[in-house]
Structure formats: structure tokens, C-alpha cells
Amino acid sequence: VPGPLGPWWWCRAIFMGRVEAEMPPPPPGCGLFWLGLVLGSICTALQFATQANSATDALNVLLIIVDDLRPSLGCYGDKLVRSPNIDQLASHSLLFQNAFAQQAVCAPSRVSFLTGRRPDTTRLYDFNSYWRVHSGNFSTIPQYFKENGYVTMSVGKVFHPGISSNHSDDSPYSWSLPPYHPSSEKYENTKTCRGPDGELRANLLCPVDVVDVPEGTLPDKQSTEQAIQLLEKMKMSSSPFFLAVGYHKPHIPFRYPKEFQKLYPLENITLAPDPQVPDRLPPVAYNPWMDIRQREDVQALNISVPYGPVPVDFQRKIRQSYFASVSYLDTQVGHLLSALDDLQLANNTIIVFTSDHGWALGEHGEWAKYSNFDVTTRVPLMFYVPGKTASFLEEGEKLFTYRDPFDSVSELMEPGSQSMDLVELVSLFPTLAGLVGLQVPPRCPIPSFQVMLCREGRSLLKYFQFHDMEKDPYLHGNPRELIAYSQYPRPADAPQWNSDKPSLKDIKIMGYSIRTIDYRYTVWVGFNPDKFLANFSDIHAGELYFVDSDPLQDHNMYNDSQGGKISRSLIP
């Protein structure tokens, strides 16, 4: 456990609810003083909970985190993807059109936005360290809510499981109850995909008959059922709750109920608009999508490493299965929101919907995350705030009636309110705290490794002042002053077997990327993994794309700009 283990630390640990069986024993010589502390802390905690429970106007939070979901949704203008339930949520929400993750890989992104710190502060660029030990004992969003009287609950993939969340989803710090993981999750990467020959294989493309898979269910179905049960229990409680629900799809493998394939006939599936590797793309910027190459159906294609390409007919099948997975995900979100509505919780529950990062579906010849391009760093982000983004419901009224994606007459629902400003996922922490009326954590000093509670993202609260913004457009600020930062590590200048997910010890280069309203600028510089230091005098490559003339980021203008004369002071 991080931190000094003196008596006063123990006092604080008890009060914050952090004493667990695996912790070391109390300091010697405490005796009755120790017993008094324990009993006193219990009384204090009960009194604190009672005070919190009496606050009937406290807003609950439902945070929905999706794995590998790019903004391929109807509410983001995608004409092909059927996502009626997410679109319905968007119609009652404030939707951010330009939201960006800080690193396009699961564990670093999730630790970043759940702590409100950037990867260079969490020092997590891979999957192999726990930030509280490796970097600093940073508070998380659910921990902050828990410490302020909320019952905090985790369902599915919220933190990335494993070392990066201490094999415990950051328990007991973040959660009031043991985190829930669906039992069928263990079959995700096993031979459960029936191939054309009738044999079971571990494929990338894995539409299934749910009754035939182990346990007769899928992880996201189980997560929805568990989340609904928790909502039913919390409906009977007077305590406010913070419920985080993490959905697996559309993360690979694309294992989803096979009927969703019917929504996307292959003849309707187009290729990516830019399926070729750009001529002027630096090799260090390319990722060779090694994880999909490990799937049996992709191995059978004998695709050359590192650049491919994937055969055209299989490209269409990948895109088909990604979109089908999104529609399957949409039904789970629909069932969850409909249950929340049925429980009459829509008037006092904030709903946030987002993703940890995007995923390339053939753009730039890539089939993965693991880059700094918009297609992998841009994510959906929307906030439903009762009384702000939508009116309070009258008796018997419903906002989130379940919508069937197979209903061909279902009309497209437009987002309620939208912002085109650039925002970052590290803004989640201060924004959620402010929306429920908690004190917004202060800005982090530099450095902040010894500071438990602070945030590196700006608060987005001003975007919810709709009437004030209509009267005073200057509240929006100057969009050209807004910057979204991301970064990605590489082990070498050229693509190799571990370019996608290098371990910390193997990182030799860091790609720091700036996204503004006008351009994306990336510089690949030398990086020392022992000292966590980037050397901006050691430039390996650069990228510069102008948004208006090159929205897909295919034409690198870095060399034309003599090394990209953009101020290095913009790099945090």
C-alpha cells in the first residue's frame, strides 16, 4: 500500500474506508487507542452516510465506457450504422463532436481519464504497472465519489483488468462493492467461433448463435443484467450511486449474436475512404496490427508483415462485423437505459457515454488502435444531465424507451445539443464532480506525483450553461486556443512485432501529438524509459496534417514546413 504507515496514516486510511484484510497490522503499541479509532471511525462513517443519504437532491451517475468504439454512430452522422438507443440518448444529451483520448490503447487511456492525469503523469504506457505504486497515489473519479458519500459500483471492463489496476480493479480504493466481471468473459479468446468448415476456431470474425456458446450467454449481456440488478437495489436505497458499466464490444474478437450481421449486407459495406498506407507516412507512425494477425481466420490469409494489405473481400467482412458489434452493443445500452427509466431514475441520474479510444477500419492501411491519428484517438462523448440537457420528466413520462435496431421504420434522432470544441477525456473528472455539486479538484501543479487529488484536464461545466451562452457567445472562448493532446510509444523507427504494444523497458521513441481546430501535429522524439524523459532535441520523424484540406490525415506536410515550425511549448 503506498504511503507511510505511521499512526496518522492509519487514522486517515480507516476514515477513508481503506483498511482491508491484506493490509499490514496496526502500528505496535496502539492498544485501546487503536480500538477506539476503529469504533470511532465506524460511527463517523455511519453519521457521514446518514448525512449523505438525507441529501435527496443528490444526482446519481451512470458512466458507460465502451471498448474500442470510434464515433461510428448515427448521432455522429454515420448513415450506415444502426445505433437507435445511443442516438436516443444523444437526443437528450450534450454531445461533443471532437473529443479525444490521451493514448489509443486500453489500460493507459482508462487510467488516464479515471485519474484525470495524462500518461506522462501516470507513467503507464503499457499494461504492466499500477500507478499507485509506480507513479503516485492518485485519486480516481469513483474514489472521489465514494469519499463523498456515494455508493460506487463497477460492472464489466471499467479499469483494464490485470497489473494496471492491481488485479483488483483498483479495489478497495475506488469501489464500495466488489467489481463485477461476467463469467463468460473467459471464453472471449477461445475456440468458440464456428468456421465455414464447421470447426470451432479462435477467429477475428465470430458471429455466434448465443444458445451454442459456453454458458449460453455473452459478456455484455451479463453486464447489462448485473447493472440492472444494481440499479434495482439502489432504487430502494437513499444513498446516491456512481455506477460504471464497461462494455467489451466492439473490441476484437468480433464475437456477437449472428443475427446482427443481417443489418449489414456485404454488398452495402464500403472500404475505408483511404485504405492505402500514405506515401509520406513515417514508418515509426505506422502500427502493424499484430493482434488481429494472431486470429486463426486472419492467419489463414497469409498477409505480409508489416504493411499487408488485407484482401478486399476480408476488409469488407471486418467492417461488417465491427458495425454489427456496434449495433449489438447498442441493444445492451438500450436495455440498460430503459431499465433506468422504468425505475424512475432518469430525473436524478447523470448519464455519461464514452469510449476509451477509437479503432482504424482500414484507414491508412491499419486495422487497430495504436496510433495518434484522429480515427484512433477521437471518441464519442455525451452527457445527459436531467434538468439541463433535457427537461425533468412528468409522472409516467419516459425518455429512454427501448428501440429495436432491426426496426426499419425507426427514424434517426438528432443530438439534443452539440459542441464542436476540442475536448479531452481527462476532463471527465472535473466535469462529473462539478455536475453533481462536488468541489472540483484543483489543477495539478507541475510535477504532481505527490499530490493525491488534482486534475490535469479542464472542466467542461461552462458548456452546460446553455442560456448564458445564448446571451454571451464569448463564453465559448476562442476555439483556436483549444488543444487536445495524445501520445503513443514505439520501440523502434520501423514497424516490428512489438510496435503496437511495447513494454515500458522497450520504449525508445514517443510520439507526442497536438490536435487543434486547424491541424494535427505529431513529433516522434527519443524517450528514456528509465527516467521517463522525452528528448525533444532528438527528433526521429514528424507529421503535419491540415484539417480543412486533409480531414483524413493522408498528406503529411511536415517536411514541407521545414520540420513543422509549430511551437514546442504546446507539448505538455
- How far lies 31's CA from each of 25, 37, 44, in Å? 12, 10, 20
Rg (CA), the chain: 24
How far apart, in whole angstroms, are the C-alpha atoms of residue 356 and residue 101?
Answer: 7
Cell of 241: 450511486
Q: Which residues contact 348 (CB under 8 A, 6 or more apart)?
A: 57, 58, 59, 60, 386
| Per-residue 3-state assignment (H helix, E strand, C coil) for 70-98 | CCCCHHHCCCCCCCHHHHHHHHCCEEEEE
Of 43, 75, 134, 160, catalytic? 160
Active site residue 30: no
How far apart, in whole angstroms, are the C-alpha atoms of residue 203 and residue 197?
Answer: 13
Checking phi first, is residue 437 left (phi over 0); if not, alpha (psi -120 to 50) or beta?
A: left
How far apart, in whole angstroms, are the C-alpha atoms of residue 511 and residue 568?
Answer: 13
Q: Chain centroid to CA 209: how far? A: 28
Instruction: For the beta carbon of residue 171, count every other beta carbon within 10 angstroms.
Output: 17
For 503-535, the DSSP string reads: -GGG--EEEEEEE-SSEEEEEEEEEETTTTEEE
How far apart, in whole angstroms, are the C-alpha atoms of residue 252 and residue 240?
Answer: 35
- Amino acid symbol at 299: Q
Of 75, 92, 106, 248, catalytic? 106
Q: Which residues contact 193 (CB under 8 A, 6 or more apart)?
A: 200, 201, 202, 203, 205, 206, 208, 253, 255, 297
List, as own/partner pairs, every contact residues 551-558 make where C-beta atoms lie below 8 angstroms and the sequence separation is at least 24, other chains included.
Answer: 552/273, 552/274, 552/363, 553/364, 553/373, 553/374, 553/375, 553/520, 554/274, 554/278, 554/364, 555/278, 555/280, 556/278, 556/280, 556/281, 556/282, 558/280
DSSP state of 67: S
Active site residue 43: no
Helix (H) or strand (E) holding 336: helix 312-342
Which of 187, 183, 205, 185 lies closest to 196 in space, CA to CA?
A: 205
Q: Chain centroid to CA 81: how far? A: 20
Cβ distance 540 to 264 under 8 Å?
no
Instruction: For the beta carbon of residue 562, count every other beta carbon within 10 angstroms.
Output: 7
How far apart, in whole angstroms, are the C-alpha atoms of residue 516 and residue 117?
Answer: 20
Place of cell 489500460: 107
Helix, strand, coil proportions of the chain in percent (round to 5)?
A: 35, 20, 50
Beta-bridge partner residues of 520 = 515, 545
Positions marked active-site: 106, 160
